[in-house]
Amino acid sequence: MDSRKLALLCQKYADNKKAENVVVLDVRKLSSVTDFYVIATGTSEPHLRAIETEITGKLREEYKIRPRVTEGTSRTNWVVADYFDVIVHLMRADVRARYDLESLWSDAPRVKPPAKRVAKKAKSAVAAVESESDTDAE
C-alpha cells in the first residue's frame, strides 16, 4: 500500500472514533525519516486508547499491516505508532499544544481526504428535487 493511502486510512480510522483536529502532513520533501505524519487529538485516556485501537486494529485486520513500533500509552497522553512511511501521533490537547508539531513542520503541505462520492450523489439528488420543484411551480 502506498504511504499516502495509508496516511489517509489512519485519518479515516481516527475520525471513526471522533478524534479531534486530525491533520495529515506530507513531509516527503522535508524529511528522510517518513513520508507522512498523522496528528490527532484525543480528549481523555479512554478516548486516546479507542483511537489507537481503531487505527492499529483496523490496519491489522483489514490490511495485515502492523506498526513497526508503538511508543507511549494513553496514560502518557501521547501515543506514537510508526508505520515506517507514516507516523501517527495521538495526543491530548495540552500535549499537542506544547509540542506543536504542525508549527515544527509548517512547510509541509496538509493532505485533504478525498471527496466522498456519497456527498456528491446527495447534492445531485437535492439539485434534481429542486429542479422538479421549480418546474412544478411554473
Q: pLDDT by residue (tens digit) across 94-115? A: 999 999 999 999 999 999 887 7
Lookup: cell for 79:
501515543
pLDDT of residue 31: 94
Q: What is the mean pLDDT of residues 107-131?
A: 70
| pLDDT at residue 125 is higher than 80 | no
Taking Cα atoms as reference points, which of 86, 89, 46, 40 lies closest to residue 65? 86
User: Which amino acid type is present at position 99?
Assistant: Y
Task: Identify the band that residue 130 occupies on the pLDDT scale cut at 50, 70 and 90.
Answer: low
pLDDT digit string, tens, across residues 11-51: 999 999 999 999 999 999 999 999 999 999 999 999 999 99
Contact, 24 vs 11, CB < 8 A? yes
Angle between helix 45-63 and 3-16 (nearest 10): 130
Domains and CATH numbers, the chain: 3-137 (3.30.460.10)
Pairing of strands 36-42, 86-92: parallel
